Structure 1
């Protein structure tokens, strides 16, 4: 009996994602997109949804980050062995790339939740002796190489993923594309629906898109124009040959170049952004398309720290499977909340000492900022006016913990990491600042639980959703954030956290607004009103944790997108 046999009959939904964060020691993810996909896997197992997931094996991971003596990021591979965590399946399919067949082997990773529900994940791997030496590494490094390798990877994910599921015996009715990387999957479906004569030609579309649109769901995550993959048609013709006539492809993917987002939009009957504000932004970027909103959520038992898990368990055993019941947690005793937080904070302090030798104090608040290091996230906003920051700290002491990776080709992001280290050295006499290297799932869980305050400073409207603040809220951590992404939906001033500026305020005013909120509201409350701060902690759990979770997210996808 095959390990897949229990899934082949009932499974009708496929979820394709370039990256999926399955566990900390399987580095098949780079950041929020992959962590969201991993939380989707975990929630589908919890809810026993009939889904199969497809991603790349990414044997060399994404990026192991080291910090040099100058504070600069040093990139290194982050290898893992599929043999240790997954099972090789007895199947193979080929995608013709540059005129050669590139063979793809599937690995099965099976996620099983505590009550027994399971979700299969298929990892696609081209490291096979049957392949030409230059083709074996296509699936090795997540987002590695240039645009040529990127298009090859997307061909393996989209075309290869669609063929692989057929070869394994799945009968898929709904294809969920997690970002435009997977847009070649609906194109592969479209290639099966040729109409009219057989001559490739310009002019009207000679394929029937209706059955493809009826089958495809597309989630776009990227409000940053540069984040939408585009490839020249010369490159497409060179790599994919006659897989799909270029003149016909122009009709569904853009007249001048293959735009993967346009391709997914045109071949999907249900499209959504990942927060209400993001959907609004996406509709402005892509007028003429109906783009709905399904706000992201996080997998509650994964991101709840052990002390808070014990606390929730003492109130109701259903909390992990039915996070809606977290709405009751505002009734928890203040002392119990504070004790759980102090335990989680001590774990963060120990991690900071271990990783970078900076000693933090338990009796001073810790402000945490951790996310991908790139310009629009503005990780340096807190340090805009170092002298004012010192004055605030002299009256109301606080500490700062930072973490995040820059993409290997993002020189601006790497410059920001060097600047943050320079600021840490300059502030050492007044504000302890620690930068924790190699931000990943395991470290993230410690940081979201151990923070006293979660800081988020994106340039609006460029934050699609953001989920790290949701994870912090599960652990009773209030947020101080620019009004963008999901925070507009969760923000209740002085109840769940605070806003930096107002909705629509000018970005150049955000630094002054941040300092004013810290100095006049946030830090005085932490230092001088413990009951008031504890009320915020309980409200964060009850009003955010009970709403912004991945079970709720997947119930919406199931009822609105998959069953339409």
Structure 2
């Protein structure tokens, strides 16, 4: 019979033979509250989950000994519906785990509010385009052994109140390591993708304490050192409000004495349990997700060594099939060695342009089917698609509608927009409403298409089908951002604030264009209009040869560098093999 972490019997539910071949070789566990595996599996909300999914695909490509752990989130994040007045409403977005994954033969328990809450893992076998495979475990509390009040803990991604979120983080951070041990995984390194999984550090401390077979009066620096040696922490949040904090009264009520004979406040903060601070204190390797973001994190949390590994995207997952065929024919190793894309500038212009136009026509078809708006594939198309929230400034492009209209009348273009606002983000919802209102007023003179329910499938069409990729966050609040990397793989030219990854990837006039100088400024909107009118749109209309040259530079310079193959090689060498 399988064992729980505290040596009481686990409940067998099904054979575990599917996971055993992976367990015998796996040494690294990657824990993330969300992972974007495929469009039909609704275990993600946005960039954090998409990054985790791309990470898993590259781990499979590179045959890395990794396992990925997340929540099953049966009801998904939410399905976005835009009503007739331009308001976002939310509906459940359920999926059936049994259609994509297999239940495994173990149940383990965590204690919540004095009750044993049982967790069952589902096994999802991720297969990359190169044939590589990695295991993904989806943690589920909807089992008959649980009290009805606990069966929905893993249902809603980022749903519910503070209590619900804390319970989810206990299931992930403490239940995840227990599941791995019960299934026979011998994990040497735990990688926390954001602070949601930070309670695994407490789980490891208590595991080592139990292994001693006796109670010591206090934890020692030796105990902390053992945990640090096993933990890697990647933070993605340069916004203070984005770091999860829980009152100690709530923690004690839900979880009891989490740290046996230890003072949790020494590790997690004196006023609240700060999950980021807990992870920082008990990880030997900490990194931000771009050079600028690492600097921001060091200022937010002085005294900690914060390195930087800039995010990437999985090339084979985000390049349009038309481009994949070109890359396969000319650079057969590009899936595992994207550096080969550096040679794309030697390809004929017509080859690149035809692949791009194939993607562009497909995007136009999708927009016509979903919205009824007919776009012209021959016009330059500007794309803006991401989470709708205040610091990303989704309304910057529309700050002066008459100016925007005058630019379009002089040098015609069209706009594609997509993105969800969090259900409790009133500012983000207001931005969607405002953009849709402006779009309606300008519809006769400037085509603006808003694609509702932004997800993996919609994203693939947009990043491959637009000509210009717009990103307008207020510096330094963009940790990294990866959507522009996906667009670049397909020859789109980035036009973005110098924040996150673009501060590293921008060669103005070569891979795209910068908005502003990288400092927070009210002048960014004016700079956006000036460059769009005076440089970008005239170049598209009047100098197609130069435009295609820049497309090649975008694919070659960005695609060869800002990818998860490079990213995972760095994690392997710098974080996992210490």
TM-score relative to the length of structure 1: 0.97
1:383 maps to 2:420: no
Residue 323 of structure 2 corresponds to residue 308 of structure 1: yes
Alignment correspondent of 2:383 = 368
Match of 1:531 in 2: 545
> Shift of the alpha carbon at 1:540?
0.2
2:137 aligned partner: 122
2:4 aligns with none
Q: By how many angstroms is 1:207 displaced?
A: 7.4
How many Å separate the matches in 1 of 2:285 and 2:86?
45
Q: What residue is the counterpart of 2:532 in the other structure?
A: 518
Partners of 2:202 and 2:258 within 8 A in 1: no
Give the SS at the match of 2:223: coil
Q: Which residue of structure 1 aligns with residue 279 of structure 2? A: 264
Q: Aligned residue for 2:65? A: 50
For residues 523 and 253 of structure 2, the distance between their equivalents in structure 1, rounded to whole angstroms, comes to: 49
The answer (yes or no) to whether the contact 1:138–1:152 under 8 Å persists in 2 is yes
Q: Measure the CA separation in 2 of the matches of 1:137 and 1:557.
A: 34
Cα separation, 1, equivalents of 2:570 and 2:357: 35
1:549 maps to 563
| Cα distance in 2, alignment partners of residues 391 and 223 from structure 1 | 36
Q: Secondary structure of the equivalent of 1:164?
A: helix
Inter-partner Cα distance in structure 1 for 2:262 and 2:20: 41
Q: CA deviation at 1:197?
A: 9.0
What residue is the counterpart of 2:264 in the other structure?
A: 249
SS of corresponding position for 1:508: coil
Q: String of CA shifts for 1:277-326, please: whole Å, max 9, x gaps.
A: 00010001000000000000100000000111112122122222221100
Q: How does 1:374-523 map to 2 (within 5 A)?
A: 374-504=389-519, 506-523=520-537
Cα distance between partner residues in 1 of 2:496 and 2:118? 47
Q: How does 1:19-418 map to 2 (within 5 A)?
A: 19-194=34-209, 198=215, 208-244=223-259, 248-418=263-433
For 1:421 and 1:48, the matched residues in 2 are separated by 45
TM normalised by structure 2 equals 0.95
Q: Is the 8 A contact 1:15 1:54 kept in 2?
A: yes
Residue matched to 2:7: none
* CA deviation string 1:11-52 (max 9, x = no partner): 110000000000000010000000000001100010000001
For 1:162 and 1:358, locate their aligned partners in 2 and report how far apart those are by CA, in whole Å: 49
CA distance in 2, matches of 1:222, 1:312: 34
Matches of 2:147 and 2:332, distance apart in 1: 54
| Structure 1 counterpart of 2:12 | none
Q: Say whether the 8 Å CA contact 1:221–1:273 is kept in structure 2.
A: yes
| Alpha-carbon offset, residue 196 of structure 1 | 13
Structure 1 residue matching 2:229: 3-state secondary structure: helix
Contact 2:312 2:564 in 1 (8 A): yes
Q: Report the CA distance between 1:430 and its aligned residue.
A: 1.8
> Once the two structures are superposed, what CA deviation does each residue of 1:483-527 show, in whole Å capped at 9, x if it has no partner?
0000011100100000001132x4201000000010110000001
Any gaps of 5 or more consecutive residues in structure 2?
1-15
Instruction: Note the C-alpha offset of 1:154.
Output: 0.2
Change (3 A) 1:272 1:217: same
Distance in structure 2 (CA, Å) of the matches to 1:273 and 1:453: 27
Q: Is residue 193–residue 209 contact of structure 1 (8 Å, CA) maintained in 2?
A: no
Q: How far has the Cα of 1:116 moved from its partner?
A: 3.2
- 8 Å CA contact 1:400–1:434 kept in 2: the answer is yes
Q: Which moved more, 1:251-260 or 1:356-365?
A: 356-365
Query: Displacement of 1:115 after TM fit?
Result: 3.8
Give, in whole Å, the separation in 2 of the partners of 1:354 and 1:254. Answer: 52
3-state SS, counterpart of residue 495 of structure 2: strand
Q: Deviations over 1:423-442 (max 9, x none)?
A: 11121122111110000001
The SS at the match of 2:523 is helix
- 1: CA distance between counterparts of 2:551 and 2:268? 47
| Structure 1 residues 439-473: Cα deviation after superposition (integer angstroms, max 9, x where no partner) | 00011000000001000000110000000000000
For the 8 Å contact 1:18–1:56, the answer to whether it is kept is yes
User: Which ranges in structure 1 are unaligned for 5 or more consecutive residues?
Assistant: none
Out of 12, 16, 19, the position equivalent to 1:4 is: 19
1:400–1:376 CA distance, 2 compared to 1 (3 A): same
Could you give the per-residue CA deviations for residues 404-424 of structure 1, whole angstroms, max 9, x where no partner exists?
A: 011111111111111111111
Q: Secondary structure at the match of 1:192?
A: helix
1:241 Cα deviation (Å)?
0.8
